[in-house]
Amino acid sequence: MKPRQKRFVFIAVALVGVALAVGLVLYALRGNVNLYFTPTQVFNNEVPKGRSFRIGGLVEEGSVKREKDGLTVNFVITDTHKSIPVVYKGILPDLFKEGKGVVAQGTVENGVMRAEEVLAKHDENYMPPEAADALKKAKAANTADAAAIPSNAPVVVPVAK
């Protein structure tokens, strides 16, 4: 082998080695690199006991309730499988909305999280308000269609047979 090829092989081997090592480290750390736990993980007792941690998910529709002092907020974080109620006293970020992503940090006592910090998580889609409205209407129309189908279904099925 020419020295040039030797160096090339050396670099290739070194790079593969480092990639493998980093891959193994990341695999070992996989739980710790995650920013938050899901409500399902909280129910499965996969969360640290007695110290503060983060829960992430969606704010359940219709769950946000403000108390009379105007600062304390109650809401429910859900991953559509399990949900956790959260109590938080403080200012919420602008993007905090029902049905949108949220990350709350705090401690869980008796199945309720007392949050010290609530952050909003937004999605990766960018569109003007009109397009968002149109999308919402289309979605509503689709659910209306889907609801209409079952009433027709008994009529259709015998014909198919």
Partner 1 sequence: MAINWFKYSAPTTFYGLAGKMIPWFAFSAAILFAVGLYIGFFIAPMDAQQGEFYRIIFIHVPASMMSMFLYMVMAGYAALGLIFNTRLSAMMASAIAPTGALFTVVSLWTGALWGKPMWGTWWMWDARMTSELILLFLYLGFIALHASIDEPRRADRAAALLAIVGSVNVPIIYFSVKWWNTLHQGATIKFSGTSMHIAMQQAMFTMLAACWLYAIAVALARVRSIILERERNTVWIAELPEVKQ
Separation in Å, CA 11 to CA 20, 22, 25, 95: 14, 16, 21, 47
> CB-hemisphere CA count at 13 Å for 62?
0
The piece of 45-53, 70-78, 129-137, 143-151 that touches partner 1 (CB under 8 A) is: 129-137
Q: Strands 83-89 and 72-78: what pairing?
A: antiparallel
Site string (23-62) toward partner 1, x via CB under 8 A: ---x---x--xxxx-x-----------------x------
Q: Does 138 bind partner 1 (CB under 8 A)?
A: no
Between CA 131 and CA 134 the distance in angstroms is 5
| Sign of CA pseudo-dihedral 93, 95, 98, 101 | negative
DSSP at 47 = S
The interface region with partner 1, picked from 66-74, 81-89, 116-124, 140-148 by CB under 8 A, is 116-124
Min CB(95)–partner 1 separation in Å = 6
- Per-residue contact flags (x/-) with partner 1 for residues 58 to 97, judged by CB under 8 A: ----------------------------------xxxxx-
Decide: is 22 part of the binding site for partner 1 (CB under 8 A): yes
Instruction: Please report how close the Cβ of residue 155 comes to partner 1 at its closest, in angstroms.
Output: 39
